[in-house]
Amino acid sequence: MKVLARIVPFVLLTFPPALSAHNLERESESRYWVDSMAKAHAKFSGNKGTFAHFGDSITVTMAFWMPLLYSRNNAPDEMEQAFQLVKGYLKKECWRDWKGPQFGNEGRMTIRWAHKNIDSWLKRLNPEVALIMFGTNDLNSVALEEYKNKTREVVQKCLDSGTVVILSTIPPRHGFGEKSVVYAEAVRKIALEKKVPLVDFHVEILKRRPDDWDGALDKFAQYQGYDVPTLLARDGVHPSHPKKYRSDYSEEALRCCGFSLRNYLVLMKYADVLRMLKLVSPAKQAAALDVQPIRDALINPPSQPWFPKAPALPPPQGQTIEVSNVQELVKALEQAKPGGTILLADGHYMMPRYVEIRADNVSLRGASGHRERVVIDGAKSRHRELLGITGCSGVTIADLTIQNIRCNGFKINSQTNVQKLTIYNCIIHNIWQRGVKGVKVPKTNREAIRPKQCRIAYCLFYNDRPKRFSDDPADTTETFNGNYIGGIDVMYAKDWVISDNVFVGIQGRTREARGAIFIWHDSQDCVIERNIIIDCDAGICLGNPHRAEGTRYHCVRCVARNNFVTRATEGGIVTVYTQDCKLLNNTIHEPASRLGRLIRLVYDNDGLLVANNLLSGPKIRNESDSKMRIINNLARDFTTALVDPSQGNLHVTARAKEAIDQAVSLSAVATDIDQERRGAKPDIGADELMR
């Protein structure tokens, strides 16, 4: 069968659902397997939290299991609780790395293959639980009696080794409708006979789409491949995976996306196994039940479970001022004393004008820690800028949102000696020039007052749409044609760290905006790492062609490492007039790039090191004559080897074989984008595949 993706650790056996007299759905009979599986688990001697998936192309595909880790849109509460329980117990590698024949899943395979290899899988993996589903390919190649006998033997070998088995029925198949019912019924009977839990995928499909489950029907002729709004793909063999319903677990999606349905069923059954066998402590079970979605956010920002999560800040120290309305906020900022903290209650603060922080070591924080609930809004402000930082050091701004201002959101008045600023876990939304702007520093006393040791971390920069002329009257056809917009833009920065931020949709009117991250004008020793940039016109820009008088280099000794950049049409990472900078282990994705600028090197870049970058698209575009080291970079279309590039998730899978273990080991890149340690043989790109 055609391979879509891979995953494994815990042995689950999957077989067709029963339409017989065995009423396994009745609560009194649904846990018939608990005592038997407890006895089997008593023999287990391996690593807890391992879950293997034994199957064919319906199992090896990345459309199965792995997407649960990253997104569960419209999931009912009981599903989200099950996920939290599983996430807290399951080994990380079992979400996406246990894929491929060595882990017991591969396309075109039958129960014969499993029967031949089960001993080696159990010896190598020793999974605590295993999911087993074979049969789709067996329908036209393995007789029923052989299928039943070999399935029994595979299940028994797992149980004898101490592995808990979850059997799954196969989906119905085009042209084999009646036969698939028979094979599914055989699996149900084996599940009862061996007293193992069952995922009845077959029955669940027919229950939801009794008459039109088959994507090969003429009524679906206008659709192609997996993008069919029923439960089987156009080939009538594999579960469907339409773009509209991917990672969606609403009732509608569970009728229209075969892989969403399978992911849901397996997750719920595996969580049931963890609970009933008491593999998870009562305290952790209770914690999972307490998980509730935040329902009172004032905005709805883009969110993915794999986006960086900000660790909570410690409680405030010193004087604390609590505010709950605009008047109190303005007064608190005007009267703030050094070392004090202003705590903003959840609410929508419609600002009438620009305000500033001027005292050292002041903190401005949302009280709840939920940044989407504290919104400072400039839509009705009479000024073009929202919040300034002037003549102070050690300021922290955290756990809040700023939005809707014509020019600059956070304005760093660098000419006044602003130092050690931290912007942390903030949302910067619909800012129509710069989300964070650090202005020019006058030549007089520049080295002393240039902004040093500032940090922007765990922030989300996003706009709802591209910029329009109406957003900014100064940005016209005579100036920047509606493209004067970016995320972070700082000059003369020194020792800055810009890390773990997400940028989504920072776009100009004609898709020629400035960088999501733009560092220039003699910036020195800055680190740009672990950022995620999606659908912005330009990604990371170290310099640009314009230089002020007396400025030879825009960036000196700056490093961009472990970043994801997806569909930055003007350029993924661009260097212009740099010295001794480094571009290390970044992953940039845009296979259809019209300009071929995934990495672009322009003008002078003396001493530049470009190493271990993964380019999913055209190779590096070098327009520089400088002496540089460009080593061990990899360029081709890696779309099918990345987890979900359509959503900006550029984590690698086992299919990225050219990248795995192929990087040059660099002391400057000891960890990856998830802050996980790299191995002795590191991978090319931002993500280190966990093995």
Angstrom distance (rounded) from CA 225 to CA 64? 16
Q: Are 81 and 282 in contact (CB under 8 A)?
A: no
- Decide: residue 268, CB within 10 A, 0-12 exposed, 13-18 middle, 19+ buried: middle
Q: Are 437 and 412 in contact (CB under 8 A)?
A: yes
Collapsing DSSP states into helix, strand and coil, what is residue 364?
Answer: strand
> Is it the case that residue 294 has pLDDT exceeding 50?
no
| Cα separations in angstroms, 488 against 435, 498, 501 | 6, 9, 11
Give the end-to-end CA distance of the chain in Å, rounded to a whole number. 25
Question: What is the structure's pLDDT at 181?
Answer: 97
Question: What is the structure's pLDDT at 24?
Answer: 41
Question: Residue 666 corresponds to which tokens in the numbers above?
Answer: 């660099």
Per-residue pLDDT of 21-58, as tens digits, reads 334 444 345 689 999 999 999 999 999 999 999 999 99
Q: Point out the least confidently predicted range of 71-80, 287-296, 499-508.
A: 287-296
Q: Pick from 632, 631, 649: which is nearest to 641 by CA?
A: 649
Q: Taking each helix axis as running N to C, give the angle between helix 111-125 and helix 144-160, from 0 to 180 degrees, rounded to the nearest 10.
A: 10
> Is it the case that residue 595 has pLDDT exceeding 60?
yes
Q: Pick from 76, 520, 10: which is nearest to 254 by CA?
A: 76
Collapsing DSSP states into helix, strand and coil, what is residue 211?
Answer: coil
E strands within 472-625? 486-491, 497-499, 502-504, 515-520, 523-524, 527-529, 532-534, 538-542, 555-556, 559-561, 564-566, 571-579, 582-584, 587-589, 599-606, 609-611, 614-616, 621-623
Residue with tokens 């595909």: 61
Question: What is the structure's pLDDT at 648?
Answer: 96
Q: Pick from 253, 176, 255, 175: which is nearest to 213 by CA?
A: 255
- Decide: residue 489, CB within 10 A, 0-12 exposed, 13-18 middle, 19+ buried: buried
For 145, how many CA atoms within 13 A lie in the half-sphere containing its CB?
0
Average pLDDT, stretch 496-515?
97
Collapsing DSSP states into helix, strand and coil, what is residue 183?
Answer: helix
Q: Pick from 419, 425, 428: which is nearest to 361 by CA?
A: 419
Three-state helix/strand/coil letters over 224-275: CCCCCCCCECCCCCCECCCHHHCCECCCCHHHHCHHHHHHHHHHHHHHHHHH
Positive or negative, the CA dihedral 615, 619, 624, 627 is positive
Q: Taking each helix axis as running N to C, give the angle between helix 177-194 and helix 201-208, from 0 to 180 degrees, rounded to the nearest 10.
A: 130
> Is it the case that residue 16 has pLDDT exceeding 70?
no
Question: What is the structure's pLDDT at 682?
Answer: 97
* pTM of the predicted structure, to 2 decimals: 0.68
310 Cβ contact list (under 8 Å, min separation 6): 424, 425, 457, 458, 500
For residue 669, what is the DSSP state? -
Question: What is the structure's pLDDT at 142?
Answer: 97
Q: Are 686 and 672 in contact (CB under 8 A)?
A: yes
> Is it the case that residue 292 has pLDDT exceeding 50?
no
> Is it the case that residue 7 has pLDDT exceeding 80?
no
Three-state helix/strand/coil letters over 400-460: CEEEEECCEEEEEEHHHCCECCEEECCEEEEECCEEEEECCCCCCCHHHHCCECCEEECCE
Q: Pick from 463, 461, 389: which is nearest to 427 by CA?
A: 461
Angstrom distance (rounded) from CA 494 to CA 417? 13
Per-residue pLDDT of 302-336, as tens digits, reads 998 899 999 999 888 888 999 999 999 999 999 99
| Cα separations in angstroms, 539 against 127, 409, 535, 600 | 42, 19, 9, 11
Confidence bin at 4 (pLDDT 50/70/90): very low
356 Cβ contact list (under 8 Å, min separation 6): 333, 387, 388, 389, 390
Output 679 or 496, whichever has higher pLDDT.
496
Confidence bin at 12 (pLDDT 50/70/90): very low
Angstrom distance (rounded) from CA 424 to CA 421? 10
Q: Are 251 and 224 in contact (CB under 8 A)?
A: no
Average pLDDT, stretch 84-99?
93
Number of other residues whose CB lies within 10 A of the CB of residue 460? 24
Per-residue pLDDT of 188-230, as tens digits, reads 999 999 999 999 999 999 999 999 999 999 999 999 999 999 9
> Is it the case that residue 247 has pLDDT exceeding 90?
no
Chain centroid to Cα 426, Å, comes to: 18
Number of other residues whose CB lies within 10 A of the CB of residue 106? 21
Per-residue pLDDT of 357-411, as tens digits, reads 999 999 999 998 999 999 999 999 999 999 999 999 999 999 999 999 999 999 9
Q: Point out the least confidently predicted range of 38-47, 251-260, 275-284.
A: 275-284
Question: What is the structure's pLDDT at 38?
Answer: 96
Q: Are 448 and 423 in contact (CB under 8 A)?
A: no
Angstrom distance (rounded) from CA 155 to CA 313? 49
Confidence bin at 289 (pLDDT 50/70/90): low
Question: What is the structure's pLDDT at 540?
Answer: 98
The percent of residues in the chain predicted with pLDDT above 90, rounded, is 86
Q: Across-strand partners of 616?
A: 589, 636
Question: What is the structure's pLDDT at 14?
Answer: 41
Question: What is the structure's pLDDT at 691?
Answer: 65
Angstrom distance (rounded) from CA 190 to CA 175? 25
Q: Pick from 512, 531, 499, 516: which is nearest to 648 by CA?
A: 531
Element (H, E) at 125: helix 111-125
Q: Taking each helix axis as running N to C, give the angle between helix 258-276 and helix 201-208, from 0 to 180 degrees, rounded to the nearest 10.
A: 130
Strand bridging mode 599-606 / 434-438: unpaired
Output 295 or 177, whichever has higher pLDDT.
177
Characterise 344 by phi-psi region: left (phi > 0), alpha (psi -120 to 50), beta (else): beta
Average pLDDT, stretch 274-299?
72
Average pLDDT, stretch 662-689?
95
Average pLDDT, stretch 151-174?
98
Q: Pick from 452, 514, 448, 510: which is nearest to 487 by CA?
A: 514
Q: Pick from 308, 643, 621: which is nearest to 459 by CA?
A: 308
Strand bridging mode 571-579 / 587-589: unpaired
Per-residue pLDDT of 416-471, as tens digits, reads 999 999 999 999 999 999 999 999 999 999 999 999 999 999 999 999 999 999 99
Over the chain, what is the mean pLDDT? 92
